[in-house]
Amino acid sequence: MEYQLSTLPNGIRVLHKQQSSTNIAHCCVVINSGSRDEREGKEGLAHFIEHLLFKGTEKRNTYHLLNRMEVVGGEINAYTTKEQTCVHASFLDQHLERAVELLADITFHSRFPQAELEKEKSVILDEIDSYKDLPEESIQDDFEELIFAGHTLGNNILGTEESVKRLSREDIFGYIAENYKTSEIILAVYGSFEWKKVMKMAEKYFGNVPVNNSERTRIAVNPYQVKSLRVPKPIYQSHAMIGSRCYHLSDEKKTAMLLLNNYLGGPGMSSRLNLEIREKHGICYTIESNYTPMTDTGLFSIYMGTDKGKMDKCMALVMKELKTLRENKLGTMALHQAKQKLIGQISLSEESRLSVIISIAKSILDHGTSDSLEEIYRKINAVSAGQLLEICNEILVPDYLSSLTFIPEN
């Protein structure tokens, strides 16, 4: 993937991907730290910090922070994952300096005022409660807790009501000191700028950030134990997930797993599960699969939601499809179509330029480099039916799959 990359003296890397066909630009700061890096009892801290980054800096209050991009028609936002935190902005390219300066101010000069801490705790507690009203969302978090039980990867990114209430300013500054390593932070820019201009902005606003080379060792994932749970809930429809741990980001089988997942239950109406379960049998409004590779592990899951009386049949049909995949190689035409579908989806995703630049930045944090589209397509086309069959017999085996089902109480 064509881009330019340089490293400031303090270790922060600067990434630029040039695009001359538009006057819309995007930039982001990606920090290689997320909820898995929280200490015991501090669940939700990484996400809490992400919220508080917008609550006042050394020279701006909340109003001025939020208005700084919106007053020129731009947007700014942030999110937290298990392993990373990202602050991002989209804007007209004439406002590059405004955006870069604001990202630096938010990321490195936030004050975390005590009054805002207490208010934001209330907001996050409301956010936690809102997920409880959405079983199709909350089951995702609970399933991750089941798969990664006893490890920080199993913790809800939002934290719990008890942990959020306990968080303090001291916790915030401690987490930042331990995890915001300058060598694991990237400023990334996508737009019609000369490289020299991007570097000038980066040096001006990020070059004076103090070096942080604090030692941080992520806790290795613990052994996986297969579990199955059925949980009564005050809901009308049953919701279920099955899945297991899977291949990590650097595993040679990652590309084949991405292809298999997309074929089995990826986006669109033509996935195998959607055609066989919803279209053929009229069961499930939503059925999908997901594969999330992480630094040292991964997660594969299938989600389905249907009427309580249909869930057993739905689960049986899903297991039947998985059995077929374990016992039969994908045909030549089916394999070709699966590859073309995934390649087409990746090509279309290039239109979302903010997602592209964030993806490149994440890849550099994880691997030190980012594959070109041509290399990505080459890896997809190199996947064989035999490789897919081997993966199916490693990952889709009944004895290796955990399950979580939410069932109506009455």
Cα separation, 5 vs 323, in Å, equals 46
Percent of the chain residues topping a pLDDT of 90: 94
Contact between residue 10 and residue 75 where contact means Cβ atoms under 8 Å apart: no
Does the pLDDT value for residue 215 go beyond 90? Answer: no
- SS3 for 266? coil
| Residue 64 pLDDT class (50, 70, 90 cuts) | very high
- The residues, any chain, with a CB within 8 Å of residue 188's CB and separated by 6 or more, are 14, 15, 16, 17, 27, 28, 29, 30, 357, 358, 360, 361
Q: Exposed, middle or buried by CB within 10 Å (0-12, 13-18, 19+), for 235?
A: middle
pLDDT digits (tens, 9 = 90+) for 67-102: 999 999 999 999 999 999 999 999 999 999 999 999
Which amino acid appears at position 297 of this protein?
Answer: T
Cα separation, 268 vs 270, in Å, equals 6
- SS3 for 5? strand
**pLDDT at res. 279:** 93
pLDDT digits (tens, 9 = 90+) for 111-157: 999 999 999 999 999 999 998 889 999 999 999 999 999 999 999 99
Cα separation, 34 vs 16, in Å, equals 24
**pLDDT at res. 22:** 84
Q: Based on C-alpha coordinates, what's the Rg of the chain?
A: 22
Cα separation, 359 vs 354, in Å, equals 9
φ and ψ of 302, to 5 deg: -125, 130
Does the pLDDT value for residue 250 go beyond 60? Answer: yes
Percent of the chain residues topping a pLDDT of 70: 100
Does the pLDDT value for residue 65 go beyond 70? Answer: yes
Reduced 3-state DSSP string for 348-404: HHCCCHHHHHHHHHHHHHHHCCCCCHHHHHHHHHCCCHHHHHHHHHHHCCHHHCEEE
Count the neighbouring beta carbons within 10 Å of the beta carbon of residue 275.
12
| Residue 1 pLDDT class (50, 70, 90 cuts) | low
Does the pLDDT value for residue 203 go beyond 70? Answer: yes
Q: What is the mean pLDDT of residues 169-190?
A: 97
Contact between residue 26 and residue 35 where contact means Cβ atoms under 8 Å apart: no
**pLDDT at res. 329:** 96
Q: Spell out the domains of the chain, with CATH numbers in brackets.
A: 4-206 (3.30.830.10), 228-408 (3.30.830.10)
pLDDT digits (tens, 9 = 90+) for 315-374: 999 999 999 999 999 999 999 999 999 999 999 999 899 999 999 999 999 999 999 999
